[in-house]
Chains A and B, each alone.
Chain A
Amino acid sequence: QVQLVQSGAEVEKPGASVKVSCKASEYTLTGYYMHWVRQAPGQGLEWMGWIYFNSGGTKYAQKFQGRVTMTRDTSISTAYMELSRLGSDDTAVYFCARDPGSLGYFDLWGRGTLVTVSS
Chain B
Amino acid sequence: QSALTQPASVSGSPGQSITISCTGTSGDVGNYNFVSWYQHHPGKAPKLMISEVSKRPSGVSNRFSGSKSGNTASLTISGLQAEDEADYYCCSYAGSDTYVFGTGTKVTVL
Interface residues of A in 21-69 (CB under 8 A from B): 35, 37, 44-47, 50, 59, 61-62
CB–CB A46/B98 < 8 A: no
* B41 smallest CB distance to A (angstroms): 11
Contact A111/B36 with A47-B98, A59-B97 known, Cβ cut-off 8 Å: no
Interface residues on chain B, size class: 20 to 34
Majority DSSP secondary structure for residues of A touching B: strand
Contacts of A44 in B (CB 8 A): 3, 89, 101-104
A81 contacts partner chain B, Cβ-Cβ < 8 Å? no
Interface residues of B in 4-59 (CB under 8 A from A): 32, 34-36, 38, 40, 43-48, 51-52, 57
Interface residues of A in 61-82 (CB under 8 A from B): 61-62
Contact with A along B51-89 (1 / 0, CB 8 A): 110000100000000000000000000000000000001
10 A-B contacts (beta carbon < 8 Å): A4-B45, A97-B46, A103-B34, A104-B99, A105-B34, A105-B48, A105-B52, A106-B91, A107-B48, A111-B44
CB–CB B48/A104 < 8 A: no
Interface residues of A (CB under 8 A from B): 4, 35, 37, 44-47, 50, 59, 61-62, 95, 97, 102-112
| B46 CB contact (under 8 Å) in A61, A95, A103, A104 | A95
B47 nearest in chain A by CB position: A109
A46 nearest in chain B by CB position: B101
CB–CB A104/B34 < 8 A: yes
Q: How far is the CA of A102 from the CA of B51 in the complex (A)?
A: 12
Contacts of A103 in B (CB 8 A): 34, 51-52
Contacts of A112 in B (CB 8 A): 45
